[in-house]
Amino acid sequence: MDTPSTSYLRAEISPADHDKINVCSTLAFGKISYYSVFDNLRLRIGMIVAELSVEPIGEGTSISRFVKEALEALRRSGVKHVPNAMGTVIEANSLDELFAATKAAHEAVFRAGARRVVTTLRLDDRRDKAITIQSKLDAVASR
């Protein structure tokens, strides 16, 4: 039997909401998982989608070597990430995972030789429905 993970949906279901537990628990071994905390069932749906920019300051006009190191740190962290011309979009299961990946990218730029780094993180932590990078793109395309 698979072991549920603690990623994806974050919502508290009180004991009075047992009808919701039955609906959600059928998905427990797919993308929705559950765990018990203080006799309540806690769920997390979706992901946190964030935009990350890690910029070395004072390193000249070309910073691609620093960007490469930051992207490699994100790859090693295991988060899904999609680089673009002005930053990188990240999917993370939790704030802890997101912040750890952000820290890894930030520190990688220092290890690459930067003396000053500005890191900007903007996140969408939606707790009422599942979101992913693709679902956000699909929502725009369907309008």
Is 16 a member of any domain?
yes
Q: Which residue is it, tokens 């730029």?
A: 109
Q: Let me know whether 24 and 37 are in one domain.
A: yes
Q: Let me know whether 79 and 25 are in one domain.
A: no
Name the residue range of residue 23's domain.
11-44
Q: Let me know whether 56 and 126 are in one domain.
A: yes
* Distance of alpha carbon 10 from alpha carbon 7, whole angstroms: 8
What mean pLDDT comes out for the span 45-55? 89
Task: Please count the structural domains in the chain.
Answer: 2
Q: How many CA atoms lie within 13 A of 93 on its CB side?
A: 12
33 φ/ψ angles, rounded to the nearest 5 degrees:
-130, 165
Query: 85 is written with which tokens?
Result: 């011309």
**Side chain identity, residue 30:** G
Quickly state the pLDDT bin for 1 (edges 50, 70, 90). very low
Q: pLDDT for 13-33, tens place per residue?
A: 444 444 444 333 333 334 443
Q: Let me know whether 65 and 102 are in one domain.
A: yes
Residue 89 pLDDT more than 70? yes
Is 69 a member of any domain?
yes
Regarding pTM above 0.75, the answer is no
